[in-house]
Amino acid sequence: MKPASDILQDDKDEYLGLILDGYKPDVAARQLGFTGTAFRKHRSPASIYYDEEFATKYADAIVSDEHSTAFLERIRGKVAELALEDGNVRLLEKLSLVYDPAWEGLRNPNLQVNVAVLLQQAAPSLTKPELERLREALLEAKKREEIESGDFYIYRTN
């Protein structure tokens, strides 16, 4: 894998394009021959490679409707591909249950999810703005009593 110092503007543009095409950050980076860390260095104000314009464009792209829609399309494509060709659909079935509105009828309203485990699994790929929005959404849900006290604990970290 190439180091962060080798990332050029064309690489950043292609990376952002992959994000908008529904790729998660680490996968997009690997597609270009870099690690996710190399691109994070260009988004982190603490890094010597920090590029404010790139960081802003990334933050907009990763939460965009275009990214979400493309990611869902990729999941649907993989579900069909693996179901028809490999017969291995368990993980992608779970992703479809979470992300795909077409699977709404299959969701169990009494399903109890260990939110802490889900967050631990997802956190490495989430940006700080995404984590902050998640925290705020959980606090709002708790205020509306959609989440009962004791079901989920929200800690603020700086």
Q: Is 2 helix (H, G, I), strand (E, B) or coil?
A: strand
154, pLDDT greater than 70: no
As a whole-number percent, the residues of the chain with pLDDT over 70 amount to 75
156, pLDDT greater than 50: no
Question: Where do we find the tokens 């997009």?
Answer: 28
> When comparing pLDDT for 121 and 27, which is higher?
27
pTM: 0.58
Lowest pLDDT segment from 32-36, 55-59, 125-129:
125-129
Q: So what's the pLDDT on residue 129?
A: 79
How far is 89 from 72, CA to CA, in rounded Å? Answer: 15
Residue 109 — pLDDT band, cuts 50, 70, 90?
low
Q: So what's the pLDDT on residue 114?
A: 57
Q: So what's the pLDDT on residue 142?
A: 67
> When comparing pLDDT for 53 and 77, which is higher?
53
DSSP 3-34: -GGG--HHHHHHHHHHHHTT--HHHHHHHTTB
Residue-range domain boundaries for the chain: 4-63, 67-111, 113-158
Q: So what's the pLDDT on residue 158?
A: 42
Q: So what's the pLDDT on residue 75?
A: 87
